[in-house]
Amino acid sequence: MSDTSLEKILILDDNSDYRKLIKTFISKLLPSVETIEYDPVFEGAPGDDFNWSEFDVLLLDYHLSIVGTTGLDILHKHHKKAFFSSHYYAHRCWHGRSGRTST
């Protein structure tokens, strides 16, 4: 897999072990790509001023430990904004179902 067009990946997940696992995997697969961890429980859901344009890829957990908010809610709130430039969205859940959409 070539990482020439990727510079930065955002992992938005409430599980620190999962974030670290994914970050380790990506760093071995794509060593030149910077991977940023974001904990929405500790840092809060990204607000309107969050700079999505920094990231080429967003890995987004569906089941967040935020009452009344899912990863899909965050995606729906921000994906149409001009500065939302992440090209791929991914989500996962612990029930064995996962999905991926791209723009």
Please indicate, yes or no, if residue 18 is contained in any of the structural domains.
yes
- The domain in which residue 57 lies consists of 8-102
Please indicate, yes or no, if residue 71 is contained in any of the structural domains.
yes
Please indicate, yes or no, if residue 2 is contained in any of the structural domains.
no
CATH number of the domain to which 78 belongs = 3.40.50.2300
Please indicate, yes or no, if residue 93 is contained in any of the structural domains.
yes
pLDDT along the chain (103 residues), means of 10: 74 93 95 95 90 88 85 85 62 47 46
Please indicate, yes or no, if residue 78 is contained in any of the structural domains.
yes
Calpha distance 16→20 (Å, rounded): 6
Please indicate, yes or no, if residue 80 is contained in any of the structural domains.
yes
pLDDT value of residue 101? 46
pLDDT value of residue 78? 85
How many domains, in total, are found in the chain? Answer: 1
pLDDT value of residue 80? 80
